[in-house]
């Protein structure tokens, strides 16, 4: 309605009927746009369904082709080996003329057949009456009476029923064939259990499945990015002024009200300014509207740069008027805006459209409405116009008093007015300059304003490394699990899963390497958010130093915080040094001093703290094990959710690793279940209680679900940071429940990582999934009830 009212005001000299026609046209356009958006959304959904359907058909076709080729290979291999072996035995039987022919032929048969038993074949030599003369050493199965049927129809392939293998694999079928030689005196029976082909085919399936998972994830990411760009574009159109790129009036009002609520206790620390271009109508009349638009765009670019330095925001108020909020008291804001006026006067094109600006400033007090603040800023702006334009004026109580009594203002001397308003003219040589924001704010203020946003900023950059590394590690375990018959592996061999084949070893190495970047990236970007570019390198190295401390992202956060604080203080110190020394600061001073101090903090603070906490919690877990193993599993699983990848989480995980070495794999199963529950539970809670989560949290639900299924507990970090008090207790409760149920069901797991990808290794896999699902539901329900709608 505001748009329509503005349109009416711009045509206030025209009849009312024109306003009605404008409103009717706008409504028609809105309905048309709304219908088009729905149509486009339906078309996108249809296109995505067709893409997914086509992709699924392609994968199924590859799988079917793989089955067919494997079966053909199995048949051909069996025929060729049986034919070749029968030919050799026939030559031996023909050349043997001794009375003990059966014995010599049996010995020769055993020598020739021994090399095939290692490849999954079982072989028997029969005489003409069907009695076994010899069998190959190392046969995998006993002779079956059904094999004699093949003697009646030699050279024909027979298929036995599946003997416990996976029915998804045709290669699990047992094939046997009979070959008669030596004029019917002997027959060779060869049975192929398909183990070699089955292993090859499973590897093919893993490759197909891995490609499918990668493509599906890629498709989902592309779809998510497409929708995000679409939503961001709509949001930009709704909240941004098209010409200047600044916030429009509606969005500025909403953002101002939001910040007033968040910073209600910081009265007087913020200033609001209102400015416009002097004699803007004359610019339009003399140079044309295109020149006026260019002047507005130029001014908007300068305003953007200025407010970004002062942690503020700005918008176009209407016409040539701009409004903005600066995170500075009015006295310091005055100097900053004075520099803006000076820059505009100097940089505006003198021959084309020279222009200047006038500015009014007022401080923002707690409880003030935007209307009240704008009224004060407008009075200050009017004062700048009265004092010759191209000036900056700060609102004072005298202005408000003078405005109420016009007769008094008319009699006041001009010099007295200047004393009341603290006006600066650009004709006066002044030494006031706007210092960098970082040097004006105290360390306490910097931490209060930037610590939490810094963590959120760092988590955003860390998440891709966590997700990619975790999924690669999980895929390595999946590849090995599909490449071997797990029932035939010992406990020690199962513990080596993830590095039993060259492909899985490479995937696990790549995953571990990517995963190890998580802490340096988190620490570097956290330091960067606190102190800028000068702190990035110290944060990166500090994060690398804490990898071996097993302190997780908690240690990285401490390192990033230390790097940011140290770099900020060094920056302030070097600003006081001579200019020729300041030039060398980024190369010499920043790295040496910041790295030395950060390393000292890592060695003498983070590492000892981790060791002490590890000793304490390991003792607690050991004592709990003496009481009851389910109690140990419950505590260890709950610890996985205390800090989501931090010190306590790593202590529980390392305890689970130690239990694998001690052949007690039940604890590792509980630890993994406890680590999977937080992201999964949060994702489920978002699905069940959508009205209690903000848009960003809803968008992150799918990623949290994927990360949880891959055993990446850090997937819950974005939600923990924004709502620590509610998320942590909910996740601890759900993780503890899942660990307890897993131990009661007797679930065990010899693999240290992998999530659902190592489910085939779990003892009682269905009950294990039930434990994880139950714990996730507990987390989802508790979190849903704790969250409040007004928090969104």
Q: How far is CA 50 from CA 54, 57, 105, 681, in A?
A: 6, 10, 63, 31
Residues β-bridged to residue 189: 124, 178
> What pLDDT score does 395 carry?
86
> What pLDDT score does 490 carry?
67
Residues β-bridged to residue 363: 271
Residue 605 CB-half CA count within 13 A: 13
Helical residues (DSSP H) of 365-501, grouped into ranges: 370-386, 397-404, 406-411, 414-421, 437-440, 443-483, 491-495
> What pLDDT score does 144 carry?
81
Q: What is the 3-state secondary structure (H, E, C) of 154-177?
A: CCCCEEECCCCCCCCCHHHCEEEE
Mean pLDDT, 10 residues at a time, the chain of 792 residues: 38 38 43 53 66 70 68 77 85 78 84 78 84 83 79 76 44 74 84 69 65 69 70 78 86 83 66 89 84 88 84 86 87 84 84 84 82 87 86 80 54 46 39 38 62 79 82 79 67 70 81 86 86 81 83 83 82 68 66 77 81 86 88 92 86 87 85 93 90 82 86 86 88 94 90 80 87 94 84 43
Task: Give the H or E element holding residue 654.
Answer: helix 647-661
Compute the distance between CA of residue 449 and CA of residue 254 in angstroms, rounded to an integer: 20
What value does the CA radius of gyration of the chain take, rounded to a whole number of Å? 38
Does this model's pTM top 0.85? My answer is no
* Cα angle for residues 379, 382, 387 (degrees, 5° grid): 130
> What pLDDT score does 268 carry?
63
Six-digit token string for 554: 């908690």
* Cα angle for residues 8, 9, 15 (degrees, 5° grid): 55
Neighbour-count burial for 471-502, b at 16+ CB within 10 Å, e otherwise: bbbbbbbbbbbbbbebeebeeeebbebbebbe
> What pLDDT score does 407 carry?
43
> What pLDDT score does 187 carry?
87
> What pLDDT score does 426 carry?
40
Could you give the dihedral angle defined by the CA atoms of residues 63, 68, 70 and 71, in that order, rounded to the nearest 10 degrees?
140
> What pLDDT score does 618 carry?
86
Helical residues (DSSP H) of 264-329, grouped into ranges: 280-287, 289-309
């Amino acid at each position: 309605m505001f748009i329509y009212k503005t349109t009416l005001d711009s045509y206030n000299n025209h009849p009312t009927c024109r306003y009605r026609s404008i409103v009717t046209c706008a409504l028609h356009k809105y309905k048309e746009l709304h219908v088009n958006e729905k149509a486009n959304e339906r078309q996108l959904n249809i296109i995505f369904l067709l893409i997914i359907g086509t992709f699924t058909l392609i994968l199924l076709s590859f799988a079917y082709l793989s089955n067919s080729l494997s079966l053909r290979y199995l048949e051909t291999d069996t025929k060729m080996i049986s034919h070749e072996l029968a030919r050799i035995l026939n030559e031996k039987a023909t050349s043997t003329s001794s009375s003990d022919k059966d014995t010599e032929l049996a010995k020769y048969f055993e020598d020739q057949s021994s090399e095939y038993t290692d490849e999954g074949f079982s072989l028997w030599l029969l005489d003409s009456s069907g009695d076994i003369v010899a069998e190959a050493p190392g046969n995998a199965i006993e002779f079956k009476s059904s094999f004699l049927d093949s003697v009646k129809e030699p050279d024909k392939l027979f298929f036995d029923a599946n003997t416990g293998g996976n029915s998804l694999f045709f290669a699990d079928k047992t094939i046997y064939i009979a070959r008669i030689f030596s004029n019917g005196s002997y027959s060779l029976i060869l049975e192929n259990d398909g183990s070699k082909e089955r292993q090859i085919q499973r590897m093919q399936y893993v490759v197909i499945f891995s490609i499918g998972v990668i493509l599906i994830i890629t498709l989902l990411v592309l779809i998510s990015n497409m929708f995000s760009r679409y939503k961001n574009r709509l949001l930009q159109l709704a909240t941004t002024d098209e010409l200047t790129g600044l916030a429009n009036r509606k969005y500025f009002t909403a953002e101002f009200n939001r910040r007033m609520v968040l910073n209600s206790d910081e009265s007087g620390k913020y200033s609001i300014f209102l400015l416009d271009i002097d004699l803007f109508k004359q610019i339009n009349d003399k140079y044309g509207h295109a020149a006026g638009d260019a002047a507005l765009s130029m001014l908007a670019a300068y305003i953007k740069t200025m407010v970004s330095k002062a942690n503020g925001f700005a918008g176009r108020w209407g016409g040539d008027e701009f409004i903005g909020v600066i995170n500075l008291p009015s006295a310091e804001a005055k100097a900053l805006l004075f520099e803006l006026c000076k820059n505009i006067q100097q940089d505006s094109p003198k021959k084309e459209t020279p222009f200047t600006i006038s500015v009014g400033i007022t401080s923002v007090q707690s409880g003030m409405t935007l209307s009240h603040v704008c009224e004060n800023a407008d009075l200050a702006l009017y004062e700048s116009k009265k004092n010759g334009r191209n000036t900056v004026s700060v609102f004072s109580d005298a202005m408000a008093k003078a405005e109420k009594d016009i007769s008094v203002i008319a009699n006041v001397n001009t010099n007295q007015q200047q004393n009341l308003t603290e006006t600066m003219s650009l004709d006066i040589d002044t030494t006031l300059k706007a210092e960098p924001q970082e040097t004006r704010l105290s360390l306490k203020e910097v931490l209060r304003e930037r610590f939490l946003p810094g963590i959120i900023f760092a988590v955003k950059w860390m998440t891709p490394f966590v997700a990619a590394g975790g999924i690669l590690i999980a895929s390595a375990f999946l590849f090995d699990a599909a490449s071997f018959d797990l029932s035939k592996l010992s406990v020690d061999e199962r513990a080596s899963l993830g590095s039993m084949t060259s492909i899985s070893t490479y995937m696990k190495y790549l995953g571990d390497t990517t995963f190890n970047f998580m802490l340096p990236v988190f620490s570097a970007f956290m330091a960067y958010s606190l102190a800028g570019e000068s702190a990035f390198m110290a944060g990166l190295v500090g994060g690398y130093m804490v990898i071996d401390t097993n302190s997780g992202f908690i240690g990285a956060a401490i390192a990033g915080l230390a790097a940011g604080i140290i770099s900020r203080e060094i920056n302030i110190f070097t600003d006081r040094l001579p200019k020729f020394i300041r030039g060398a600061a980024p190369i010499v001073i920043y790295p040496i001093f910041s790295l030395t101090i950060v390393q000292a903090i890592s060695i003498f603070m983070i590492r000892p703290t981790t060791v002490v906490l590890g000793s304490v919690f390991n003792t607690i877990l050991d004592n709990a094990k003496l009481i009851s193993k389910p109690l140990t599993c419950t505590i260890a699983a709950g610890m996985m959710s205390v800090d989501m990848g931090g010190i306590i989480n790593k202590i529980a995980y390392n305890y689970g690793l130690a239990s694998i070495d001690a052949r007690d794999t039940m604890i590792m199963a509980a630890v993994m279940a406890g680590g999977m529950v937080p992201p999964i539970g949060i994702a489920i809670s978002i699905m069940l209680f959508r009205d209690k989560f903000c848009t960003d949290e809803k968008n992150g639900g799918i990623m949290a679900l994927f990360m949880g299924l891959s055993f990446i507990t850090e997937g819950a970090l974005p939600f923990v940071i924004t709502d620590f008090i509610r998320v942590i207790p909910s996740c601890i409760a759900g993780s503890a429940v899942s660990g307890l149920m897993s131990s009661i069901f007797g679930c065990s797991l010899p693999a240290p990582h992998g999530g659902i990808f190592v489910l085939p290794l779990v003892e009682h896999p269905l009950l294990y999934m039930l434990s994880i699902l139950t714990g996730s539901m507990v987390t989802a329900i508790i979190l849903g009830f704790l969250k409040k709608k007004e928090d969104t």
